[in-house]
């Protein structure tokens, strides 16, 4: 059965102008050719107006690129700026104001008023001659083990570290070999850490350690 949606080989030959074929095929070929001619006549091919629109778009793009190039060169090249005395004074005052605001923001708004939290150097010690590593973790460093590494004395086996701590109460523990959390045996105060162990407590005042 012949597919009605396909053109037979005889129809192809007739459309190509070859002789032959049955009268039915020639009539069908004529009808097909007439339909093609009607469809082609109905098509509207792009005229000169399309070419003109394309060239106008290209010219606009070139103008935009040229302006962008000029603007970029103006940005990257040094520019000579002349200020009148009054404008120069305004610029200096503005720069000083910006510097003051930046300084206050950096110091938390407490610059020059004497309200900065005093910091005291505190020395921590732990006798652990067999330990390979010892670090200090506490409320002052978010309990980060391994962040504050202590130094061992080969002669005494004493591990030490000195840290600047702000005034107030601080809890801490020693971390031995990265696994064992050990409270300070020399601390005068211990508090329950809520996990079955104790945290050592040190209280720092403006002039030094108040008690430990």
Domain spans, the chain: 9-42, 81-116, 119-211
pTM above 0.85, yes or no: no
pLDDT tens digits for 181-202? 999 998 989 999 888 889 999 9
Secondary structure (3-state) at 188: coil
Q: How sure is the predictor about 113, in pLDDT bands with cuts at 50, 70 and 90?
A: very low
Local structure of residue 140 (DSSP, 8 states):
G
Residue by residue, DSSP assigns 111-170 as TTTT-PPPEEEEEEEEE-TT-S-EEEEEGGGTT-TTTEE-EE-TTT-EEEEEEEEESEEE
* Arch. (CATH architecture) of 119-211: Sandwich (2.60)
Proportion of the chain above pLDDT 70, given as a percent: 64
Nearest to 139 by CA among 193, 212, 211: 193
Task: Give percent above pLDDT 90 in the chain.
Answer: 30
């Amino acid at each position: 059965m012949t597919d009605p949606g396909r053109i037979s080989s005889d129809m192809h030959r007739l459309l190509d102008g070859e002789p032959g074929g049955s009268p039915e095929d020639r009539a069908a070929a004529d009808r097909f050719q007439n339909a093609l001619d009607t469809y082609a006549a109905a098509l509207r091919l792009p005229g000169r107006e399309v070419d003109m629109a394309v060239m106008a778009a290209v010219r606009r793009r070139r103008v935009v690129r040229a302006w962008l190039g000029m603007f970029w060169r103006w940005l990257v090249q040094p520019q000579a700026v002349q200020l009148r005395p009054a404008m120069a004074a305004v610029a200096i005052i503005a720069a000083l104001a910006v510097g003051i605001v930046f300084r206050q923001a950096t110091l938390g708004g407490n610059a020059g008023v004497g309200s900065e939290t005093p910091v005291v150097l505190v020395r921590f010690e732990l006798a652990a001659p067999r330990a390979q590593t010892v670090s200090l973790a506490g409320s002052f460093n978010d309990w980060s083990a391994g962040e504050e590494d202590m130094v061992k004395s080969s002669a005494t086996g004493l591990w030490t570290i000195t840290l600047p701590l702000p005034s107030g109460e601080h809890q801490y523990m020693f971390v031995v070999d990265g696994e064992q959390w050990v409270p300070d045996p020399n601390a005068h105060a211990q508090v329950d850490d809520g996990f079955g162990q104790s945290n050592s407590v040190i209280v720092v005042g403006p002039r030094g350690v108040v008690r430990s």
